[in-house]
Amino acid sequence: MSGGVDSSVAAALAAHSGAEVIGVTLQLYDHGEAIKRTGSCCAGQDIYDAKTVADRLGIAHYVLDYESRFRTGVIDRFADEYALGRTPVPCSLCNQGVKFTDLIAFARELGADCLATGHYVRRMVNGGRVELHKGADLSRDQSYFLYGTTAEQLDFLRFPVGDLPKPEVRRLAAEAGLEVAAKPDSQDICFVPDGDYAGLVKKLRPETAAPGEIVDLGGRVLGQHAGVVHFTVGQRRGIDVGGQAEPLYVVRIEPGTRRLVVGPRRALAVSAMRIEDMNWLGESQREVAVKVRSMAPPVSARIDRDWAMFDKPEYGVAPGQAAVFYDGSRLLGGGWIDETVVAEDSEPVARRAMA
């Protein structure tokens, strides 16, 4: 129970089913700015809101202090990824760590039969096989961030709101008299005060704020930047280099030399990507749809070992992001993008992938 409306309704639905329900809230961080900020989670006011909901439902409520684990497994890694010139996905890290691994272990210690969460995904049993599918409300679907869920975890998990649209979830909350019925949704990067992720990273990894050169694809110096922390691959805004024939985008970040490599949009075209730490829930599917960002539409690709080759060049593919694979609405698995290959080099990569 994060203190938001989704997990609160999940608890309410479980309680109304007649099951013995125990609410668990994780205290993950305690930034002063986040305590009163609308749209945070797992800190300050949110913990109080979760307790209020549990009292309203008449269920037991525990608060677990996972702040040190969250800092090590999510916040520190978030900062490390930026320091390496990569684009992190902290929500996936959080779900793979404290929210599922640690929380499921705690639930088993309590003797629970299952763990229910407020995620917008659907758990389906198909011919005796447990599958994970996109949420019925595609505008709220959170499957991209749950690609790391293992088959063993999926056996134990339940997602009561996965079949519901968001307005219905809020209606159920209001009907149950829950004070969080109209509470705004939490932000993706919940632990970053006021959305200033660069400020947090600079505090934790000061070297990311060091100025450096902006160079073109040939290494020609075009200007200066105020720190690699302000940039991600595919970014156009903030480069501030004028007099060019075409708009410039961040093509590559070289943290060792503090160089920002920029080029035209076509330089962002990627034909293949190598995936590390792959988690697989599917069978032997090789022709798949893949999402390389949470809000990106899925595109066709072919998997060969730890490589995924796009049917058509794809844009906005950045190391550090998650590549998540689907068969229709079913989530097959995913992993971290470790390496990308520009479109004109597709043949050498295909040979390497099949070697």
Q: Would residue 114 show up in a list of annotated catalytic residues for this protein? A: no
Q: Are 16 and 164 in contact (CB under 8 A)?
A: no
Q: Which one from 41, 42, 91, 94 is the annotated catalytic residue?
A: 94
Q: Would residue 94 show up in a list of annotated catalytic residues for this protein? A: yes
Longest dimension (CA), the chain: 68
Q: How far apart are the first and last CA of the chain?
A: 47
Q: Are 311 and 298 in contact (CB under 8 A)?
A: no
Phi, psi for residue 83 in degrees, rounded to 5? -65, -25
Token readout for 91 is 């929500």
What residues have CB less than 8 Å from 327, skipping those under 6 apart? 282, 285, 288, 289
Q: Are 193 and 200 in contact (CB under 8 A)?
A: yes
Closest C-alpha among 127, 143, 156 to residue 331? 143
**SS percent in the chain: helix, strand, coil, step 5:** 35, 25, 40
Q: Are 287 and 302 in contact (CB under 8 A)?
A: yes
Q: How deeply is 280 buried, as exposed, middle or buried, from its count of CB atoms within 10 A (0-12, 13-18, 19+)?
A: middle
Q: Which one from 41, 42, 91, 190 is the annotated catalytic residue?
A: 190
- Residues acting as catalytic residues: 94, 190
